């Protein structure tokens, strides 16, 4: 009578699930260590979580470095805007006002991004004394989405870095760049490297070739001829709503930087009427508090001189120096 052989259980049937479980477990262990390191080291110096390391800017990216600058407790006033306001110098405004200014202008930003940065700065400080906004014509948009038309669609502002969602912030840490920044943060804490200037530099990037950029072309004039002039300015609505949450003791200056006079809309056109409405709304947004609205976007000797601009849109240092005393006077309550 044949002997029945016991059933053989193949080893692979047991090994494979264990292998998968080991890989998955190892992945989650590494992920947990990575997230713990992100929280404890805070690569972008945001202050979203309690960190083992003190503040200090080590980021060489002009946009993401603002996360560290914008939460530095040494500052109680800030400059916002894009390249049109970049030359306003916090190192000059600080001694003239007695405030402590930091430069938070961001190349290529529009109203949506600038409002996000103002909110970020306000959340990170309890002693804000003044805000200076260099508002260009993008603030006169009628687009309720505040779509950024200043830069190509490929430009992506890191909303996750300056928003209020810690979960979204952590989700965007799963890349190699935070690892490099964590290394630099550790070297900073060890005294092996020096921090990057926390105030911010009031200068255009060294690699910016203005000669390679085509000059801006004035918009074709549209005669007013009884046309209805829009009064819808959703960006300014957002600014008014934000400022309504601030105490009156916080000074706010909104300054429209100059363009070369050839780019100004001609009198009697729809564009001129809408720009006038936009300026009136900006002035109303800051009315009743220290500071005010400063209009440099006018036809003047300053705007007619071609040598005052790198291109037709970007001012030179002498123009910024001419703007700063008026900003100081407004912040100091001098009229």
Tens-level pLDDT at each residue, the chain (335 residues): 555 555 545 555 566 666 665 666 665 566 566 677 777 788 888 888 877 777 778 888 888 889 989 999 999 999 999 999 999 999 999 999 999 999 999 988 999 999 999 999 999 999 999 999 999 999 999 999 998 876 655 557 888 999 888 888 888 887 778 888 888 888 888 888 888 888 888 888 887 877 666 667 778 888 888 888 989 999 999 999 999 999 999 999 999 999 999 999 999 999 999 999 999 999 999 998 999 999 999 999 999 999 999 999 999 999 999 999 999 999 998 65
Q: Is residue 13 part of a domain?
A: no
User: Can you tell me the distance from the alpha carbon of 283 to that of 306, in angstroms, rounded to the nearest whole number?
Assistant: 28
- Could you tell me the CATH number of the domain that includes residue 297? 3.40.50.1110
Exposure on the CB side of residue 31, measured as CA atoms within 13 A: 9
Q: Is residue 105 part of a domain?
A: yes
- Strand, coil or helix: what is 200? coil
**H/E run at residue 124:** none
**What does 243-288 look like in DSSP terms, one character per residue?**
HTTS-TTSEEEEEE----GGGSPPTTBHHHHHHHHHHHHHHHHTTT
Q: 45: closest CA among 190, 196, 148?
A: 196
Q: Is residue 135 part of a domain?
A: yes
Q: Is residue 165 part of a domain?
A: no
Q: Is residue 222 part of a domain?
A: yes
Residue 327 pLDDT: 98
Q: 284: closest CA among 250, 228, 232, 237?
A: 237
Whole-model pTM: value is: 0.87
| Tokens linked to 330 | 């407004």
| Tokens linked to 44 | 């972008």
Q: Is residue 183 part of a domain?
A: no
Sign of CA dihedral 238, 247, 85, 81: negative
Domain count for the chain, please give it: 1
End-to-end CA distance of the chain: 116
Q: Is residue 192 part of a domain?
A: no
**What does 287-323 look like in DSSP terms, one character per residue?**
TTSSEEEEE--SSSHHHH-GGGBSSSSSB-HHHHHHH
Domain span including residue 82 = 66-160+197-331
User: Can you tell me the distance from the alpha carbon of 85 to that of 31, in angstroms, rounded to the nearest whole number?
Assistant: 41
Q: Is residue 101 part of a domain?
A: yes
Q: 255: closest CA among 130, 147, 76?
A: 130
């Amino acid at each position: 009578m044949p002997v029945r052989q016991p059933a053989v259980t193949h080893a692979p049937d047991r090994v494979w699930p264990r292998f998968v479980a080991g890989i998955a477990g190892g992945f989650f262990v590494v992920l947990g260590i990575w997230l713990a390191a992100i929280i404890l080291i805070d690569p972008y110096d945001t202050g979203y979580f309690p960190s083992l390391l003190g503040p200090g800017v080590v980021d060489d990216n002009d946009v993401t470095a603002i996360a560290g600058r914008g939460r530095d407790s040494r500052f109680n006033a800030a400059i916002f805007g894009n390249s049109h306001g970049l030359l306003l110098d916090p190192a000059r405004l600080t001694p003239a006002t007695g405030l402590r200014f930091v430069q938070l202008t961001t190349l290529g930003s529009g109203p949506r991004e600038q409002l996000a940065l103002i909110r970020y700065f306000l959340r990170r400080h309890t002693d804000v004394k003044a805000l200076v906004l260099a508002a260009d014509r993008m603030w006169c948009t009628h687009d309720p989405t505040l779509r950024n038309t200043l830069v190509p669609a490929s430009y992506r502002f890191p909303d996750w870095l300056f928003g209020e969602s810690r979960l979204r912030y952590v989700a965007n840490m799963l890349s190699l760049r935070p690892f490099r920044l964590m290394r630099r943060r550790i070297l900073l804490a060890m005294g092996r490297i020096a921090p990057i200037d926390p105030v911010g530099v009031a200068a255009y990037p060294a690699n910016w070739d203005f000669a390679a950029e085509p000059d801006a072309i004035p918009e074709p004039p549209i005669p007013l001829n009884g046309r209805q002039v829009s009064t819808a300015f959703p960006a300014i609505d957002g600014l008014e709503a934000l400022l309504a949450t601030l105490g009156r003791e916080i000074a706010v200056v909104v300054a429209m930087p100059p363009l070369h006079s050839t780019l100004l809309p001609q009198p009697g056109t729809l564009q001129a009427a809408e720009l006038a409405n936009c300026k009136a709304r900006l002035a109303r947004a800051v009315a009743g508090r220290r500071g005010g609205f400063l209009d440099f976007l006018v036809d003047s000797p300053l705007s007619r001189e071609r040598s005052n601009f790198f291109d037709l849109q970007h001012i030179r240092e002498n123009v910024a120096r001419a703007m700063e005393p008026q900003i100081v006077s407004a912040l100091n309550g001098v009229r």
